[in-house]
Amino acid sequence: MSEQGILVVVSGFSGAGKGTLIKAMLDRYHSYALSVSATTRAPREGEADGREYFFVTREKFEQMIEEEQLIEHAMYVNNYYGTPRQYVFQQMADGKDVILEIEIQGALKIKERFPEALLLFVMPPSADELRRRLVGRGTESEEIIDKRLHRAAEEASGITSYDYILINDKVEQCAQEMHELIQAQHRRVSGNLDFIEQMKAELKAV
């Protein structure tokens, strides 16, 4: 059977708890690699270059686009975000499933370029809960929170392009569900055609 890893896109409204959820899954299961994106946004307190993001200038980002170093990129609330190609391909070749925590425009580009990718959308239990989490995080101004909530309303109409939604109420439970969905994707017939062909050939030879 093919040991190649798959691409897993995880999107969700800002404040839906994607980061915490992905961390819980990575802590528990070790067959995953998390892609670190490049961005032109400024680091938040506690974020480190090369860990949460590669923090780059706009000029550097545009050069990365030019040199085709990114498998997708998008503009989100006035900043560029993009997924570096090399790490993703390397990890997939090594048999790891690569998690891309990216927004919806990027997710749609990934689906177009890699139709076998799995697209997951993380939702909070309610819109009220979303606002509470964004305010509670305390890292953004009121104005940015409003922009992010506005963007969430826009993004809601794109959810139907995803394969599954995850309701992030209890983190541990949700992380396990995410793991199970990814494992199920590995078993899809369309992703195992070589194995099936091989089995057919072997059966003919019996």
> Which residues of this chain interact with ligand 5GP, rule CB under 6 A?
14, 37, 41, 72, 74, 76, 81-83, 101-103, 105-106
- Helical H segments across the chain, by residue range: 18-28, 58-66, 85-93, 104-113, 127-137, 142-156, 171-186, 193-205
Min CB(194)–ligand 5GP separation in Å: 30
22 vs 201, beta carbon nearer ligand 5GP = 22
The smaller minimum CB distance to ligand 5GP, of residues 102 and 182, is found at 102
For residues 44 and 188, which CB has a smaller minimum distance to ligand 5GP in the complex? 44
For the bound state, the minimum distance from the C-beta of residue 113 to ligand 5GP, rounded and expressed in Å, comes to 13
State how far the alpha carbon of 196 is from the alpha carbons of 37, 90, 125, 158, 189, in Å.
35, 26, 40, 34, 8
Phi/psi at 169 (nearest 5 deg)?
-100, -65
Tokens describing residue 43: 């680091």
Name the residue with the smallest CB distance to ligand 5GP: 106
Closest separation between CB of residue 192 and ligand 5GP, Å? 29
Nearer to ligand 5GP, 52 or 186 (CB): 52
Nearest residue (CB) to ligand 5GP, 72 versus 177: 72
Minimum distance, C-beta of residue 109 to ligand 5GP, in the bound complex (Å): 8
Q: Minimum Å distance from CB 204 to ligand 5GP? A: 46
Categorise residue 68: left if φ over 0, alpha if ψ from -120 to 50, beta otherwise: left
Q: Please report, for residues 14, 134, 165, the alpha-carbon distance to residue 161 in angstroms, rounded to integers and kept in the order given.
A: 18, 25, 11
Three-state SS for 100?
Answer: strand
